[in-house]
A and B are shown apart, each in its own frame.
Chain A
């Protein structure tokens, strides 16, 4: 298991110990004091964390806390208001759209809703980034796409259209499309949300295999505690726009912090402040 940051714990409100993510020499990705607001609504209030090579790193927290927002900064889909993001030793938060393309070849993302293109078959969907990013020819890209779909156990549906498939199958095809770019890092935005338990565990297994067999670093935004406590190397808990706690599974299972325990236990009563409730 790789560790890019030490375990830490804190309260963004200042009531408890502060979160102080440290950076280690082997970290692949570093978020340094990231702030982000949408209009007058402040979402991120100084997120700092570091993620190591080949890690399966989970970001957890209540809805609307900024988990998806955090990872979208890594591929330039959102821009930070302040702070820095470093990837493989290079600062990337200040890159323009064109200069982000090389980064996006190395960092893929599987979106919450799979986001396959309805007008294309699964094979054509997977072939698209191969043609655009990898500059493969049409036939070559389709052949490579078939291999990738086989890797995610979708070889029987390569010529099916997304609308005819289940959510779980679409998610697996989306993972194949992301793997097409042979990324160093894959971001997963709630990969098991809306899936039945069997499909969800298959997605978990795929994420773990990608790390163990292909050496891919995975950053997973999720609420799925089964996933978190079965495949995570490390976990960051976002609360009130900051990293409240970062550590491995054991740290979270054995914590006596009331807020973390409330979240993990799924209790409606407790010290956690959840706006709107």
Chain B
């Protein structure tokens, strides 16, 4: 009997997960359709780009700057111990940040700051019946609410990733010069960066930018009850978006490695 219940619960969870995936796909399609139909308030895209992009610049720049400094210090110490040659520190650091750290860490921070905001805003609208009021006014909530956030997140995720690369690389270069006395012309060397690195990093940033608003919007639209429901939706949005970022990171990195050999030369 106990086993029967466990199997039933497992089956229920599996079906629930499939339904969520189907709903996420529907939201993704709806967001794209909403961008084509332009069924959102005038100036909403600009407002969302400001909220997602401008308001995250300082947060992401400072975080990535510190991360760049720490990474250079740690890897510089290890290289000093093993080979004593720091000439490849800057070029390899840049490659790693372009294809991995900058897009992924930026997206994880967007998931916490922007994803939570989207879920809280839409969740509050859901529990106060404003979403129902939109539907009664002839408006599709996906087109009206998710589509502009979707567009803003996709564009700003890429822009913020570029900011992240610039700030982390600059901070890393300063650290290498001040801690290890490394010549900046050796560190600031982009010759090892390949099209593969830029493509992989760009693809990751764009995909994260699509995933965060869709997952957060879904959590907001699923909010039930009152303030507790909004809190649950916000937490789910952060967890779900962060998990999605890591999963996408693994998948895209795996695809890059399997089909392009990880861009190695």
Contacts and interface: CB of A to CB of B under 8 A. Distances in A.
Do they bind each other? yes
Interface of A: 72, 75, 77, 101, 104-105, 108-109, 111-113, 115, 117, 119, 128-129, 132-133, 177
**Across the A-B interface, the 6 shortest Cβ-Cβ residue pairs:** A132-B138, A115-B133, A129-B137, A133-B138, A111-B129, A115-B130
Contacts of A77: 132, 135-136
Interface in B104-146: 128-130, 132-133, 135-139
Contacts of A117: 130, 133
Interface in B130-184: 130, 132-133, 135-139
Given A72-B132, A117-B130, A119-B41, 20 more contacts: A75-B136, A77-B132, A77-B135, A104-B138, A108-B136, A109-B133, A111-B132, A111-B133, A112-B129, A113-B129, A115-B129, A115-B132, A115-B133, A128-B137, A129-B137, A129-B138, A132-B137, A132-B138, A132-B139, A177-B137
Nearest to A135: B138
B130 A128 contact: no
B120 to A, nearest CB: 14
Given A112-B129, A115-B128, A115-B130, A104 B136 contact: yes
Nearest to B224: A38
Contacts of A113: 128-129
Interface in B39-92: 41
A163 to B, nearest CB: 13
B90 to A, nearest CB: 47
Contacts of B139: 128, 132
Contact of A133 (B41, B133, B137): B137
A77 B131 CA distance: 10
Nearest to A126: B137
Contacts of A105: 138
Contacts of B128: 113, 115
B19 to A, nearest CB: 14
A129 B136 contact: yes
10 contacts: A77-B135, A109-B136, A115-B129, A115-B133, A117-B130, A117-B133, A128-B137, A128-B139, A129-B138, A132-B137
A109 B139 CA distance: 15
A153 to B, nearest CB: 22
Contacts of A109: 132-133, 136
A104 B138 CA distance: 8
Contacts of A128: 137, 139
A128 B132 CA distance: 14
Contacts of B132: 72, 77, 109, 111, 115
Contacts of B137: 128-129, 132-133, 177
A175 to B, nearest CB: 13
Contacts of A112: 129
A118 B133 CA distance: 13
A75 B136 CA distance: 8
Nearest to B137: A129
A225 B232 CA distance: 37
A102 to B, nearest CB: 10
Q: Which of B135, B136, B139 counts the most chain A CB atoms within 10 A?
A: B136
Contact of B135 (A104, A119, A177): A104
